[in-house]
Amino acid sequence: MKKLDGKTAYVTGSGRGIGRAVALKLASEGAAVVVNDMDEAPANEVVEEIQQAGGQAVAVAGSVTEADFAERFINTGIETFGGVDIIVNNAGYTWDSFIGKMSDEQFDAMVDVHLKAPFRILRAASGFIREAAEAEAAEGREVFRKVVNISSVAGTGGNAGQVNYSSAKSGVLGLTKTLAKEWGRMKVNVNCVAFGYIETRLTEATDEKKQIDVNGNAIPVGIPSKMAKGMAMMIPVGRPGTPEEAANGVYLFCTPESDYISGQTVIVGGGLTI
């Protein structure tokens, strides 16, 4: 028996980077995974990788900020696998500027993807969770479900040039603590993982000017090599983390060992706390 056998896990932004590593980790421990990416190709590739390893997965492509995404995402998992057991709100990106040059669009974009989208997804799942918890309680059974919201050290300590991102990620902490209180009696553990410097396509050290397209906006990605080296020197363990190491932090809050832990934030940053 694997620790997550029979569980259905929903992971946003899981076609690439940290989200992909989370999806693969949960699948390797027995969970059926609902995979999401803005683009169909990476989402389908992760689904295929899980299936080839003997697991179960289904893809739901689209931006988490779309008005109908949350219901489509949750309903796909219920219709395909029959449950809602683990939700990992991972999708996101950064769009940096100092406050004097930051537009309303930049600020709103970060709030929409990092805070409003998780709220919508959890709201969409609430009906199923409530009904399932009531039925389980009537049968005298304790069945724990897991929510892991993703924040950042920018949300716990702030970061210059990221007032939009930091504000949204700080809001995730409030979302986590409040939902831990609302859903505790339904046996839902709601926790938060705040990442430090994790190497992904968004944070890779590069002196090239690279961009990704998000909803028609050209978003710069990557960190200048000199700056990346300086950031690495600030990390007590001496290097950035890998997506797999980040995923391990999320996995801890998805296991039965976390059944009496809720409303907490753990920084996965190699000792970096800002």
CA 240 to chain centre: 19
pLDDT tens-digit series, residues 5-15: 999 999 999 99
Domains of the chain: residue spans and CATH: 8-200+243-268 (3.40.50.720)
Can 260 be counted among the known catalytic residues? no
Indicate yes or no: pTM above 0.75.
yes
> What's the rounded mean pLDDT across residues 235-250?
95
| Antiparallel, parallel or unpaired: β 217-221 and 210-214 | antiparallel
Q: How confident is the model at residue 218 (pLDDT cuts 50, 70, 90)?
A: confident
Q: Distances from the Cα of 229 to the Cαs of 18, 54, 116, 167, in angstroms?
A: 21, 39, 33, 26
pLDDT tens-digit series, residues 74-132: 999 999 999 999 999 999 999 999 999 999 999 999 999 999 999 999 999 999 999 99
Name the one residue in this structure whose structure tokens are 């209180």. 181
Contact predicate 26/251, CB 8 Å: yes
For residue 263, the model assigns a pLDDT of 98
Q: Which of 93, 165, 197, 251 is catalytic?
A: 165
**44 vs 50: CA distance, rounded Å:** 10
Helices (H), the chain: 17-28, 40-52, 69-81, 104-111, 117-138, 153-157, 163-183, 225-234, 243-252
